[in-house]
């Protein structure tokens, strides 16, 4: 509602319109005009006529730009006269009735362009910043009329849009990552952890949650506080899983220990049973010490069980040690008389103790003898020992170790031998096949054969391959035959031809180390066969062809020529009352030599030794028996070849016994002359065996032979490269050992 005020009041209250009242409180009569009164200036646009009287009848009003002039209804007409002042403003006088002025509301101020631009910018920015989706933020931006804002404001709105969209995306990413963490946490169930499957499931779930927390890309929008909370969940759950695992481990190891103790409490405890029980006890003790998530009350019963088990195992160990001592005493007594000095040759008498490699004639004439077998003669029997490829013998000081055995069917008697050998450099194989005039090829490939022949062009006869135009002996090359899909180790493999299939049976494999394909044409029927040999396969008497995948590939190379071997052999009779039989041997393959007498200077030879030993006592002394390995050293002074006290001496030391433990022993090989052909040794009182600091009386014997490593025959111009030998040593009446050695040198002593 408009405000009313008297025209006689200051018109400044009514936005600067000033009027003279049409009447007053004087004593003038109503018909007398009131004295003119001058009031405040009127602003321009007042709506009254300058210099003229304006009459407003009683009860009427006059609208002006700045308000309404009303004449009272119950009074006289109001006479208003406007007078212009010199300074351009107006004053008004009034006579007659008392007019009242009601000012119009002040009009809103006119906005500037800048103000309108700011208003549009701020409204748009507020809408963008309040948007909860990318689409809403984009729509708020798109709704802005770019002509109504400045370029700077437009750029700021674009920045605000980008910022808001980024924040919306961050919030969405945070929500998704929190959801993934929440889901992963929800999969962890530690309420029931009594079975391995439950424990594993919980562990998998823990690992999955931990993997999320460890992956920066999976939690980069999650606050550090929230991440810490989930880390806490992982720690708590892992503790529960660890505790459950430890409970099950304790129960399982205790059960295993119980079973081991039951076995140990049965018959006489064996070393194997004792070791099994000790492993089980160790496992339980480890489980107890590792049960850091369990209380002492939970682990106490298992600790008691472990203590009781330790007492039971200790008792079993003591009983086993006593039994072992008795057995070792019996073995030592049985072996000490069976250790005999090696023979120089197979004399075919009761004292013969001789060993060598089987000769080619023996291999050819005896189907049970193979190349590389060891022939042992003990005065009663001549037997051939075959290589035991399943049992590893460690190399010793660079000499290759092998085990050989022989046992008679249906008998408990057995021969065993350990042999150590040194060889020359390996020889690279030739290319597989070519023409018979090309010496770089191992085999002659067939030529000029028909397309349907049993053996065709580019193939070889796998049973009797040609080399340089000559057919090789059938059956000798079994070791070269291998089949891709055949893994049998005994018996015969049969290959059948399909009734309507090709004439030749196709079998993938390799020959002499080169891959390819075998083709077999059955002589009769529809099948061929291959029988497992000592190495490889012996092919049936059908037509066997082999087609190399690439005839330029090289066949297997051959190992270097055998220079020398040494070793021991041991015979266990079927009757437990009979003595064992043991001796040693050395075999030189380097050829005969001469010219040692012409050498000057010294050379040191180093290598290994091996053999059998027995210490036997009925008076509380040491009882020990078995096989040994040791270090061997020879010191040769070729300038003193004719002097038995100066030419060559030897030492066997660093012994390791049958139990794998070292022995503080040393055997001195007393000084010997060296013959022009390289022979050496001391046949009488030739050794001294020292145990600890106690040396036995000189006894036993030793013999050896130098051989030329880089020439099979001829005069020596450098120090011989290899020496082998045997020795028998005694420790008074309580000990005997027999062994052999093999040594080499890098010294290059030359003749004058």
DSSP for 142-200, written as a single string:
HTS-GGGS-HHHHHHHHHHHHHHHHHHHHHHHHHHHHHHHHHHHHT---S---SHHHHH
Q: Are strands 431-434 and 441-444 parallel, antiparallel or unpaired?
A: parallel
Residue among 470, 497, 587, 489 at smallest CA distance from 531: 489
pTM here is: 0.55
pLDDT score at 604? 94
| 720 three-state secondary structure | coil
Distances (CA, A) of 701 to 28, 70, 353, 670, 735: 176, 159, 14, 9, 14
Strand partners, 615: 624, 735
Task: Return all residues near 430 (Cβ < 8 A) that are at least 6 apart.
Answer: 440, 441, 442, 554, 555
Paired tokens of 735: 């000990």
Interatomic CA distance for residues 660 and 662, integer angstroms: 7
Task: Return all residues near 254 (Cβ < 8 A) that are at least 6 apart.
Answer: 284, 302, 305
Interatomic CA distance for residues 47 and 632, integer angstroms: 141
Helix (H) or strand (E) holding 217: helix 216-219
Distances (CA, A) of 212 to 39, 177, 200, 233, 253: 86, 9, 18, 13, 34
| Burial class of 386 by CB neighbour count within 10 A (0 to 12, 13 to 18, 19+) | middle
| 11 three-state secondary structure | helix
pLDDT score at 367? 64
Beta strands in 243-381 (DSSP E): 354-357, 374-377
Interatomic CA distance for residues 421 and 724, integer angstroms: 10
Strand partners, 679: 705
Interatomic CA distance for residues 569 and 593, integer angstroms: 28
Region of 619 please: left (phi>0), alpha (psi -120 to 50) or beta: alpha
Mean pLDDT by 10 residues, the chain (752 residues): 35 35 39 49 57 78 76 79 57 68 76 89 92 93 90 93 92 92 94 93 94 92 92 94 94 95 82 92 95 94 95 91 84 90 76 81 70 82 88 93 84 89 79 78 89 91 77 68 91 90 92 94 92 88 94 82 87 82 88 82 94 89 93 92 79 96 97 91 93 96 83 64 95 95 80 50
pLDDT score at 13? 30
pLDDT score at 21? 38
**How many residues make up the chain in this entry?**
752
Interatomic CA distance for residues 637 and 644, integer angstroms: 11
* DSSP per position, 424-492: ---BPPPEEEE-TT-TTEEEEPP-S--TT-SS-TT-EESSS-EETTEEPPTTTTGGGEEETT---SSSE
Task: Return all residues near 260 (Cβ < 8 A) that are at least 6 apart.
Answer: 273, 276, 277, 279, 280, 281
Handedness of CA 148, 153, 154, 157 (dihedral sign): negative
The alpha carbon of 279 is separated from its chain's Cα centroid by a whole number of angstroms, namely 26
Interatomic CA distance for residues 650 and 633, integer angstroms: 5
pLDDT score at 52? 67
pLDDT score at 47? 58
């Amino acid at each position: 509602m408009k405000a009313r005020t008297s025209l006689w009041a200051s018109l400044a209250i009514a936005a600067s319109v000033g009027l003279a009242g049409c009447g007053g409180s004087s004593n003038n009569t109503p018909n007398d005009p009131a004295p003119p009164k001058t009031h405040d200036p009127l602003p321009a646009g007042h709506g009254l006529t300058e210099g003229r009287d304006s009459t407003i009848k009683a009860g009427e009003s006059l609208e002006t730009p700045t308000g309404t002039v009303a004449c009272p209804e119950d009074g006289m007409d109001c006479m208003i006269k406007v007078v212009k002042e010199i300074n351009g403003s107006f004053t008004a006088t009034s006579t007659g009735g008392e007019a009242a002025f009601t000012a119009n509301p002040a009009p809103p101020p006119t906005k500037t362009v800048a103000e309108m631009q700011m208003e549009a910018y701020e409204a748009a920015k507020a809408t963008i910043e309040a948007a909860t989706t990318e689409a809403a933020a984009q729509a708020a931006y798109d709704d802005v009329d770019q002509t109504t804002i400045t370029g700077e404001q437009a750029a700021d709105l674009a920045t605000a849009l980008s910022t808001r969209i980024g924040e919306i995306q961050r919030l969405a990413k945070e929500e998704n990552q929190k959801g993934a963490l929440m889901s992963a946490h929800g999969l962890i169930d530690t309420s029931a952890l009594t079975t391995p499957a439950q424990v594993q499931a919980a562990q998998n779930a823990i690992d999955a949650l931990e993997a999320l927390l460890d992956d920066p890309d999976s939690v980069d929008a999650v606050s550090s506080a929230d991440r810490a909370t989930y880390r806490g969940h992982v720690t708590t759950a892992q503790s529960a899983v660890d505790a459950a695992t430890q409970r099950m481990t304790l129960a399982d190891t205790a059960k295993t220990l119980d079973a081991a103790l039951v076995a140990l409490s049965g018959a006489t405890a064996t070393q194997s049973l004792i070791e099994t029980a000790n492993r089980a006890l160790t496992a339980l003790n480890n489980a107890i010490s590792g049960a850091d998530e369990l209380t002492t009350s939970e682990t106490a019963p298992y600790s008691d069980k472990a203590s009781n088990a330790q007492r039971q195992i200790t008792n079993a160990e003591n009983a086993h040690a006593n039994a072992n001592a008795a057995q070792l005493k019996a073995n030592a007594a049985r072996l000490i008389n069976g250790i005999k000095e090696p023979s120089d040759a197979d004399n075919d008498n009761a004292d013969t103790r001789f060993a060598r490699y089987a000769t080619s004639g023996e291999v050819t004439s005896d189907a049970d003898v193979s190349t590389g077998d060891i022939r042992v003669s003990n005065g009663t029997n001549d037997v051939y020992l075959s290589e035991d490829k399943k049992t590893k013998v460690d190399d010793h000081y660079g000499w290759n170790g092998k085990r050989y055995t022989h046992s008679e069917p249906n008998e408990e008697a057995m021969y065993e031998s350990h042999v150590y050998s040194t060889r020359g450099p390996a020889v690279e194989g030739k290319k597989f096949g070519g023409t018979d005039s090309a010496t770089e090829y191992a085999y002659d490939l067939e030529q000029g054969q028909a397309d349907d022949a049993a053996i065709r062009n580019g193939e070889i006869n796998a049973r009797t391959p040609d080399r340089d135009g000559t057919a090789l002996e059938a059956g000798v090359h079994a070791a070269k035959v291998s089949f891709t899909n055949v893994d049998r180790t005994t018996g015969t493999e049969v290959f059948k031809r399909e009734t309507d299939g090709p004439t030749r049976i196709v079998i993938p494999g390799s020959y002499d180390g080169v891959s390819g394909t075998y083709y077999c044409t059955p002589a009769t029927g529809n099948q061929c066969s291959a029988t497992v040999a000592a190495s490889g396969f012996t092919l049936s008497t059908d037509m066997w062809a082999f087609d190399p995948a690439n005839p330029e590939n090289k066949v297997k190379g051959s190992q270097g020529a055998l220079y020398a071997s040494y070793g021991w052999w041991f015979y266990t009779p079927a009757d437990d009352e009979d003595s064992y039989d043991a001796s040693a041997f050395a075999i030189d393959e380097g050829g005969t030599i001469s010219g040692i007498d012409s050498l000057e200077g010294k050379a040191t030879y180093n290598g290994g030794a091996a053999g059998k030993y027995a210490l036997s006592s009925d008076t509380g002394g040491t009882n020990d028996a078995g096989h040994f390995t040791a270090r061997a050293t020879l010191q040769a002074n070729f300038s003193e070849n004719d002097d038995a006290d100066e030419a060559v001496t030897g030492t066997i030391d660093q012994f390791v016994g049958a139990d794998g433990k070292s022995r503080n022993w040393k055997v001195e090989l007393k000084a010997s002359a060296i013959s022009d052909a390289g022979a050496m040794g001391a046949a009488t009182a030739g050794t001294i065996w020292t145990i600890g600091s106690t040396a036995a009386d000189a006894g036993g014997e030793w013999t050896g032979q130098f051989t030329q490593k880089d020439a099979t025959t001829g005069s020596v111009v450098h120090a011989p490269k290899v020496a082998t030998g045997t020795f028998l040593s005694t420790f008074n009446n309580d000990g005997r050992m027999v062994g052999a050695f093999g040594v080499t040198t890098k010294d290059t002593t030359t003749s004058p």
